[in-house]
Amino acid sequence: MVDKINDYLWEIKKDEKLGMRVPVRIYANQSIVDTMQKDRTLRQATNASMLPGIVQNMLVMPDGHEGYGSPIGGVAAFDANEGIVSPGFCGYDINCSVRVIKTNLTEKEVRPKLSLLMDRLFKNVPSGVGSTIKLGFTIKDLDRVATEGVDYIISKGYGIDEDREFIEEKGCIAGADPDKVSELAKKRGVQQLGTMGAGNHFAEVQKVDKLLDPKIAKVFGLEEGQVVIMLHSGSRGYGHQVCSDYLRICGDWQKRNSIAMPDPELVYAAIGTKEANDYIAAMRSAVNFAFSSHEIMTHFIRKSFEETFEKSSDALGMDLLYHLSHNIVKLEEHEVEGKRRKVYVHRKGATRAFGPGREEIPKEYRGVGQPVLIPGSMGTASYILAGRVESMLETFGSSCHGAGRTMSRHAALREIPATKTFGSMKDKRIELRVRDRKLVSEEAEWAYKDVDQVVASIEGAKISNAVARLLPLGVAKG
């Protein structure tokens, strides 16, 4: 039974199912909640609410949909002493994340050269399943990436010093240990560092269509009509293999300890065990891989603009707005039931959305809240939001991460012809570059929720403030 608390908040009570330790709270409007009840989204959320050490509530964001073990769009916090870490609740694509790069260009300036720009972006930023790049990195370099993050990449000539201040964790989360990462993961990752991958990953040239909060937009350096670039990618085969390895390792730990599971996909290890410590160190290595991979791609995005407009990236104003993670487990301090507690916050298909004042936010944004970057589906709007004080108490400072699927990839392939998407993109004057035609169906806007409704739900629930609405001019995908 899903009970309505208000127009944007719903709850499954703790006594709804035997074994639940906390209620499930869903942040969404009526239409989205109805959609969630058509698959296993809420069943997976109730299963996750049974995990040991979970505190306060199991949360589902409005982009929530069925995933592996826990729903995508799920958030939960576990006591730092008595809780657990779950690889499946972090996800396969560890630190899949979004960054936005600003420019001082307008659509009027970009439109005449848009086709050439998209050709260069598509060439310079490798994408597609198994995509690789030959930059001369070795396994030894990869180990330094794992421990030093973007600092190492910048020292190799990719990216700029100013970027790190506008990356979550300043581009390097502490506590990574590449010795806890398998050789197979490293072999998979060594030529994929600096590549986009496939699926829902993309690089988009966008324009700021509308300012929804001009005051915060000014702090973020955004103006109506401005061109920005949104990049969405993750830790590629490196992170995928880390997750695969530790699903097995944690599963073996549970078997040895005769622990029964509500869902075998929700395997975990208890905080303080070797298995949990090793997973955290390996997961953090993959986090730093993804930060670094984005930094390399940003270098080649800037290069593409420089070649196209025959100006330096400095002259083009190509500063980093922010880089925001999802699919991550982080040790944070939050107020839980009136007391400050350290907890391991699992955000799977969900992002951090810290409100004003938190020291983790870049000082330039601390007065208005952290930028929250919300990509839409292919050909639709994206959004930039700002975290609110309310989110710190309600959602452990978390928000949605995108539109969220309503249709599986197989269903989209069956039901949405690629010609429909190609036609829609042409009608909207969006330049599309894609390596695999089937992605045009899998990633079609009709396979996703309406991002405007998702963001309206986040605003209605007072989790984040909408700051700017962005529209795509050009899309490059795998």
Angle between helices 274-309 and 236-256 (to 10 degrees): 170
| Token couple for 56 | 């306060």
Distance in angstroms (rounded) separating the CA atoms of residues 199 and 92: 13
Closest CA to 261 of 80, 24, 17, 50: 50
Q: Beta 320-336 vs 9-12: how paired, if at all?
A: unpaired
Respond yes or no: is residue 326 known to be catalytic: no
In three-state secondary structure terms, 267 is coil
**268/275 Cα distance (integer angstroms):** 9
Pairing label, strands 54-65, 24-27? parallel
Q: Token pair for residue 8?
A: 């944007």
- Tokens 């309505």, residue? 4
Q: Would you list the DSSP string of 386-426?
A: EE-HHHHHHSSSEEE-S--BSS-HHHHHHHS-HHHHHHHHH
CA separation for the pair 123, 433 (Å, rounded): 10
Bridge partners, residue 211, by sequence: 468
Structure tokens at 207: 């324009």
Calculate the CA 185 to chain-centre distance.
21
Dist CA 255 CA 264 (whole Å): 11
* Rounded Cα–Cα distance for residues 266 and 218 (Å): 43
Residue showing tokens 């690889």: 87
Q: Among 470, 281, 286, 277, which Cα is nearest to 372's? A: 470
With a CB cutoff of 8 Å and minimum separation 6, the contacts of 374 are: 382, 383, 384, 385, 399, 400, 401, 402, 451, 454, 455
Annotated catalytic residue within 240, 323, 334, 401: 401
- Nearest Cα neighbor of 263 from 33, 67, 56 is 67
Element of type H or E holding 371:
strand 371-374
454 with 63: CB under 8 angstroms?
yes
Report the alpha-carbon angle 154-365-456, nearest 5.
Answer: 110
Strand partners, 58: 24
Positions marked catalytic: 401
